[in-house]
Amino acid sequence: MNFPKEDYLNSFSKIVWGDLNCKIKSVSKENVKNAIDRQGRGGLDDFIALISPLASREYLEPIAQLSRTLTLKRFGKAIRLFAPLYLSNECNNICDYCGFSLGNKIPRKTLSSAELLREAGLLKKMGFEHILLVTGESSRNVGIEYIESCIRLLRPHFSNISIEVQPLESVEYSRLKESGLHAVLVYQETYNRESYSKHHLKGKKTNFEWRLATPDRLGMSSIHKIGLGCLFGLTEDWRTDAFFAAHHLEYLQKKYWRTQYSMSFPRLRPCAGEISPDAIICDRDLVQLISAFRIFNHELEISLSTRESSTLRNHLIPLGVTTMSAGSKTNPGGYGNDDSLEQFEISDNRTAAEVSNFLYKFGYDTIWKDWDIAYDSQNHTPHRVEPGLSGITV
C-alpha cells in the first residue's frame, strides 16, 4: 500500500469504519489459510484475515504456533524488562476509564526532584536500566519544563528513558530527545471517533485529530522509538480498532523508516470511576491479537504490561512478547510505598526478581539493558540495538 506525503489523518480518513468491519467479518477460510502460508507477507490483507472472527474460531492454534516460531527465529528466547515510574497523577482531562481523571476527587501528587531520585534509586536496586516516565495530562503542572528536568536528572543513572505523557509539538519532542529521551509511547486509545468522544469528555484529549497526528510529530522529530496501541474495551468492534493500529504502524514505518516501533495491548482494568467495557476482550482474543501482529510484522517489539495476570503473562511470552514491565507501581511515589491513587489496578504482583527468576527457569534470558545513551553520537544519529543480542548494529 502506497501512502501519500500528507500525515496519517489523510490516510485514515479514506477508510470507512463500517465497511472495514464488514470485511473483517466476511473473511473466508482460504483467506486465513493463505495468510498463514504466506507468514503474513500479504500485508494488511493478511492481517485482516488473521484478526477475523473466523480465524479465532478455527485457526487460532496454527496462528499462535506460527507466531511463536517467528518470534524465536527473530528474537530468540530473550525478554527485556522495564519499569514505569509515575511522576504525577495531575490531569486536566475527564476520561471515564482512568483513575487520574479530573472528575475523580482524589489527592493529587507530583514528585519533587528528591522524591524522583528516591524512586529512581529503588528501581536501580531492582536492576532496572530501562524506565518509562508516566504522567497525567496537565501542561501546567507537568509541562515540557518539568518533563525535561526529570529526564536530565535521571539520564546519568539509566541507560534508556521513555515517556508516556500528553502529546507534544514536534519541536518539543526534539528538545526532549536532546535531553536524553529515547522513546515515546502514545496510545490512540481507540480509532473509532464515536467511541473516542464517548469516553473522552473534557480537556485537550477530546481532540481526536491532535492525538492521531502525534506519531507524525514524533517521526518528524526523529525520535528513536514510537510505541503504539489501543485500550481494548473502549470500542465494541475491537478487531477494527486493531486493524487501524496495524494500518497506522505500516504508514509510520514507510514514512519514518529510521524509527523503531513497539505495540502494546492493554485491556481495561479496574480504576476509580470504573466503567463497564464496551467489549470484553477475553484471553483468547489477546492471544489472537499478539499472534496476528507478530505475523504481520516479524520485527515488531511487542510489549506486555502488569495489567495481565502472572499466569496469563507466563503463557503469552512464547507467542510474540519481547518486552515486559515488572514489579510495577502505577502511582507517584509507589515504589517508596506512597499511598496516592493508582491509575489502574495491576494484576501481576510479582517483584522484578520473581519475574526474572521465572524467565530463567523458563529458559529465557532477562535483558535489563539493550541500549545505552553512550551509543548516541554527538549529532544524535539513530543507532539500533537488536533486542536480546549483545552486538550493536549501527
pLDDT band at 104 (very low <50, low <70, confident <90, very high): confident
Is the pLDDT confidence value at 160 over 50? yes
Q: What is the mean pLDDT of the chain?
A: 90
- Measured between alpha carbons, how far is 239 from 54 in angstroms, rounded to an integer? 12
Is the pLDDT confidence value at 387 over 50? no
* Three-state secondary-structure class, residue 291: helix
DSSP state of 371: -
How does pLDDT run across 317-337, given as a tens digit for each residue?
999 999 999 999 989 999 987
Comparing CA positions, the residue from 78, 82, 81, 75 lying closest to residue 299 is 75
Comparing CA positions, the residue from 215, 278, 219 lying closest to residue 245 is 215
Is the pLDDT confidence value at 392 over 70? no
How does pLDDT run across 290-308, given as a tens digit for each residue?
999 999 999 999 999 999 9
pLDDT band at 190 (very low <50, low <70, confident <90, very high): very high
- Measured between alpha carbons, how far is 268 from 276 in angstroms, rounded to an integer? 9
- Measured between alpha carbons, how far is 133 from 161 in angstroms, rounded to an integer? 7
- Measured between alpha carbons, how far is 8 from 213 in angstroms, rounded to an integer? 6
- Measured between alpha carbons, how far is 138 from 346 in angstroms, rounded to an integer? 23
Find the range with the poorest average confidence among 46-50, 106-110, 312-316.
Answer: 106-110
- Measured between alpha carbons, how far is 126 from 30 in angstroms, rounded to an integer? 49
Instruction: Give me the residue label for grid cell 528466547.
Output: 77
| Per-residue pLDDT at 295 | 98
Domains of the chain: 8-385 (3.20.20.70)
| Per-residue pLDDT at 343 | 54
When pLDDT is averaged across residues 195-213 and rounded to a whole number, the result is: 96
When pLDDT is averaged across residues 117-142 and rounded to a whole number, the result is: 95
- Measured between alpha carbons, how far is 34 from 56 in angstroms, rounded to an integer? 15
- Measured between alpha carbons, how far is 372 from 140 in angstroms, rounded to an integer? 31
pLDDT band at 373 (very low <50, low <70, confident <90, very high): low
- Measured between alpha carbons, how far is 315 from 309 in angstroms, rounded to an integer? 10
Longest CA–CA span in the chain (Å) reads 60
When pLDDT is averaged across residues 27-36 and rounded to a whole number, the result is: 98
Residue type, 155: R
No. of helices (H) and no. of strands (E), the chain = 16, 13
Comparing CA positions, the residue from 354, 391, 386 lying closest to residue 74 is 386
Is the pLDDT confidence value at 240 over 60? yes
How does pLDDT run across 33-87, given as a tens digit for each residue?
999 999 999 999 999 999 999 999 999 999 999 999 999 999 999 999 999 999 9
CB-hemisphere CA count at 13 Å for 376?
18
pLDDT band at 394 (very low <50, low <70, confident <90, very high): very low
By CB neighbour count within 10 A (0-12 exposed, 13-18 middle, 19+ buried), where does 351 fall? exposed
Distances in Å between the Cα of 248 and the Cα atoms of 11, 21, 148, 162 are 9, 17, 28, 20
- Measured between alpha carbons, how far is 220 from 243 in angstroms, rounded to an integer? 24
| Per-residue pLDDT at 270 | 57
- Measured between alpha carbons, how far is 142 from 102 in angstroms, rounded to an integer? 14
Strands 200-202 and 94-95: antiparallel
Please say whether the beta carbons of 265 and 304 come within 8 A: yes
Strands 78-88 and 323-325: parallel
Residues forming a β-bridge with 163: 133, 184
pLDDT band at 272 (very low <50, low <70, confident <90, very high): very low
Comparing CA positions, the residue from 129, 63, 52, 50 lying closest to residue 320 is 63
Residue type, 390: S
Contacts of 159 (CB under 8 A, 6+ apart): 129, 130, 369, 371, 372, 373
pTM: 0.91
Buried b (16+ CB within 10 A) or exposed e, 63-73: bbebbbebbee
Is the pLDDT confidence value at 382 over 70? no
- Which grid cell is 95? 476520561
Comparing CA positions, the residue from 343, 347, 327 lying closest to residue 109 is 343
